[in-house]
Amino acid sequence: MLTIKVLGPGCDNCRRVEEVARAAVSAAGVAAEFEKVTDRADFARYNLLATPGLVINEKLVSAGRIPNQVEVMAWVTNALAVA
């Protein structure tokens, strides 16, 4: 199972990143656990400089923008191949 974290203060962009990630996971037909990380102190653990951030299996894959579903599906596929 994948672990996906959305890093940010809970803004609209953060919610959009989560929506895109959920849609990508659903389209890929894989199971994932989602977590929202809103504590700015935790952002430093992932070297996040700009929110929103997207972390898949403890690897920061996107920062400061809203990725599209195709990008997230590629990251999910890569994370599954590594796991």
pLDDT at residue 11, as a whole number:
94
Which residue in 65, 75, 83, 66 sits closest to 27, CA to CA?
A: 75
When pLDDT is averaged across residues 3-12 and rounded to a whole number, the result is 96
Single pTM value for the model: 0.95
In degrees, rounded to 5, the angle at the alpha carbon of residue 82 between the alpha carbons of residues 80 and 83 is 65
Q: What is the mean pLDDT of the chain?
A: 96
CA–CA distance, 46 with 61 (Å, rounded to integer): 10
Name which of 44, 47, 36, 45 is nearest 7 in CA terms: 36
Helix (H, G, I), strand (E, B) or coil at 5: strand
Catalytic machinery residues: 11, 14
- What pLDDT is attached to residue 83? 66
